[in-house]
Amino acid sequence: MEKDSRIIEIQWRKSGLQVVHKEPEPEGPTEADIEVPRWGHWRQRRLGRIWGAVMLTLGFEPTGKCREALKKFRSDVYRDYRDRLDIAKTLAGWDFEIYEDHLREGESAGDKYVDLSEFYDFAKNAGWSGLTAMKEGLKIGEKNTQPFRQNQKNNYLVLMNEVLTLLPGYDATNPRANTDVVNEWLGNKGMRRPVDRRSLDNYMIEMAEAVEKFDGRLKLRSESNIFSG
């Protein structure tokens, strides 16, 4: 016969004493929850929240259970985690890039997204110890783990497009026509053209594509806020 693990509680109500069955509280973390990272997963994922990236610098799988288990059973390691997280949150956006427009980002600084390879460089420059596992696990330095900076590049392109819209005749809907507008503006300022026409054409097209993606993210975020409200 299966043992009933529910908790019995006697409660007083207007109708009299009643027996109430309650589910047991979930068990706390165990030492088995302290796990090493799934490096293959994180190598492919490339991005992670800041608090998770800090856990990886210590050589632990970034899960809530693992973090709580460290707090309970490895207080010295958990103290290092808290110290590193405090440093990382303070320097986020200064000493390393964060993805402020990531759709899954949280509200707190620790829940922003970062490139894990770039975060490794930050941790190394900060003099943090025990980074060998992270370096080998993410295969830092190999060609397939180059820093992921497309988001940063797109932000620059969107900003440049907004600046260039101030030029007379600039048409955001016709990228190639803008090559002549920019060239004429540079000539009127007496500036030497830094790139040839073909390269400038490509810049204009990349700007238009970046703006389209940026507008799409804003629309998606706006719709998400509507549904969540």
pLDDT for 97 equals 82
Look at residue 143 and tell me whether its pLDDT is greater than 70: no
CA quadruple 192, 197, 200, 206: dihedral, nearest 10: 180
Where is pLDDT greater, at 187 or 124?
124
Residue type, 91: L
pLDDT per position as a tens digit, 1-20: 455 556 666 666 666 667 66
pTM to 2 decimal places? 0.56
- pLDDT tier at 157, thresholds 50, 70, 90: confident
CA distance linking residue 68 with residue 125, whole number of Å: 28
Look at residue 51 and tell me whether its pLDDT is greater than 90: yes
Query: 57: buried, middle or exposed (CB in 10 Å: 19+, 13-18, 0-12)?
Result: buried
Place of tokens 């709580």: 68
Look at residue 180 and tell me whether its pLDDT is greater than 70: yes
- Structure token pair of residue 157: 């392109």
pLDDT for 105 equals 62
The string of DSSP codes covering the chain is: -----PEEEEEEETTEEEEEEEPPPPP---GGG-----HHHHHHH-EEEHHHHHHHHTT----HHHHHHHHHH-HHHHHHHHHHHHHHHHHBTTTB--BTT-TT--SSGGGSEEEHHHHHHHHHHTT-S--HHHHHHTTTTSGGG----HHHHHHHHHHHHHHHTTSTT--TT-TTHHHHHHHHHHHHTTPPPSS-HHHHHHHHHHHHHHHHHHHHHHHHHHHHHHHH-
Mean pLDDT of the chain: 81
Residue type, 153: K
Look at residue 60 and tell me whether its pLDDT is greater than 90: yes
Least confident of 15-29, 108-122, 124-138: 15-29
> What mean pLDDT do residues 13-38 have?
78
Least confident of 106-120, 124-138, 207-221: 207-221
- Structure token pair of residue 171: 């048409």
- Structure token pair of residue 212: 């389209």
Residue type, 227: F
Where exactly are the structural domains of the chain? Answer: 31-145, 150-223
